[in-house]
Structure 1
Amino acid sequence: MRKLFLTLISIITLSSHCSAFSYRVEGQVSDPAFEGCQISLYDNFGGGSVASDTIRDGRFILQGQSDVSFAGSLLGYSKETKKISCALIVEDGTSTVDIDNARQISGGPLFGKSQEFTEKLSNATPDEVPGLLREVIVSNPDNAFGEMALANYTEFCSPDEWSEVYALVAPHVRERERFKISDQDFNRMRSTWIGQPFVDISGKTPGGEDVRLSDYVGKGKYVLVDFWASWCGGCIKMATNTLKPLYQNLKADGRFEIIGVAVSDRPQSSIKAIEQHAYPWPQIIDCGDTPMTDYGFRVLPMLILFGPDGKVVARSGNPLNTITQINRILNK
């Protein structure tokens, strides 16, 4: 059955590459600041700008040809550095976008499928989301809808689950730069995935003393390690809105603590951010890029939960998934 399925994928892929299709993206921009400015269409997973137009009378049209449908983004800047952007599925025929509300409002069959799926996701529980994404990938192995699901699946899957779906998608999808990088990352994650022992990290305290991750992990407590950087806006937001309340709720629980590890950050910048945002948990700074290499991630923030024995208990491309795991474990 698997061999037959892979054969069918090959046939579909070959047929989809037989001839290019023409696409057209239309939209309006109400803000006069963008009049006369350029707006460009980007292939999100494949390689840069593929079409552009100048906004005239508040309207634009982007046209081109492609061998395959793709997940795209529109991006434009005014002279005052205002920004407009919108995600969309680019496929055969005409698509329209509502720039003011940053959404696609019409398109082809794949756009219709994505709308139905978005509605389905809105009614799904968090535990159901990975399975729903996998269904989309398996049933759309060679198109933009499947690519979008595959990109989102990286936030939920294990290295083994990734390898399974990556083997099922069409060759041209596997060759997308975004997914080749994801495949490399998941292969590196295997040695530090759930159930594996921690890899030690050395650095400095904000006071300049030598410190190691092993000073905290594997000492009989659950330890949440927050990999962050002072230049990472998402890290600051995560620490302020999520980790601080979590710390306040659990600081009296002798089973749990939080440790910060500053990654790819200048020590003085890390110290300034720690003081400015008043992080109350211990910090390891001046670690360079080593944590990203050792733990196989490229995007910050990254949260990894270690168990009392020092083994990885939870990690995810979506930090909120790790927070959910913490609450489940400690509230049993």
Structure 2
Amino acid sequence: MLRNNLIVLLLAAAGLFSSCGSGNHYSLTGSLPTRYDGCLVKLTPATFFFSEEKPSPVDSVKIKDGKFRFAGTVQEPTVYMLTIDGVDYKIPDMASIAVVIEPGDVTIEYDTLGIIMAGTPVNERYMTTIGEAKRETVRQRQLLWQERDSVKRLPGSVENEVDNYYNLKSSAIFKENVIPASENFIREYAGTEIGEFFFFHCCGKDVYSKAFVDEVYPTIRPEIREQYETLIRARQEKQDYFVHSQKVTNVGMPYREIVARTIDGKEIRLSDYVGKKQLILLDFWASWCIPCIQEVPLLKRLQEKYKNQGLQIVGVSVDSDREKWQGALNKHQPAGIQISELKGWESVSRVDYGVQAIPFTVLIDASGKILARNPHGPLLEEIIEKYFSKK
């Protein structure tokens, strides 16, 4: 009898553990057009955009017959990023979407408006708030872009002005739809890791309503707030320095040093040429910048015409990819000395000269003073001609 009772207890315990295990199971199934078969889908723990942590995917699978599926166990609802490599971005949210992994079966269907998510409590609540608001935003924007394109075809329309007008309307659509929905969702999960993540993921702190921020921001863990505020301070310092750089590189101000390397690795300093040449033409450009490439013939003509009078062109590439920079140099043969830090938009020289867009030119006279800031085309030719005619 004792032995039989022991067997019963062991079986009951086994059933209890089995029940607990099955209660933590989840599955995540996605459906999308079969043209994306073969694309790799990855499931990665979500991190805050300001976090230095870069987690690796915990699972990955290829799309087959328009489907992908993940399955496993989870102890508590956790936010993951679902990313798909090799997509054309025509479906909103297709490349990357936040999804809450929680016990149960989650389904995600992709269509031209984005995603439809269902199956578990948090994800369904996300769908009825943020998800539907994003789909409505896409729907309204599609109509807006049709209207914009029709206006562009009207006689006398100015493309830039039309684009600016409709971009403002597009921004207003987002604010009207997504921000209130995000606040509703986040408020429900305030004080949890889900609420914390979506607070920073959905919109910026300065975009939400003040009442919402005053209510929810204090519920976020102090260490997370400190990480975020440290980033904001650093961004503000960079912006302040950039504005300062624009002021101190105005016409009449002394040039700022540039240190970079040629494609073969030789270090070049701008100070090696200022004062030894009558006029320096700094040309900030990049291999991916079409308007920059279009200026190459003009700069070649200027270098050829004035090189004997002391014109020196120094091309400063803001590329980050050596091979692409090398390819552009080989293909277009730009004039003058060509250098780069290969740091992309983080190049020190770009920041030091307050370069907001490229192509960007700076003329430095023989005394080391800035003669002109960002002239192009006929104006650039005119300034150089006048300078050398006076000499």
Instruction: State the TM-score, normalizing by the size of structure 2.
Output: 0.39
- Which structure is higher in helix share? 2
Bigger-Rg structure (1/2):
2
Instruction: State the TM-score, normalizing by the size of structure 1.
Output: 0.45
Between the two structures, name the one with larger relative contact order (CA 8 Å, sep ≥ 6): 1
- Which structure is higher in strand share? 1
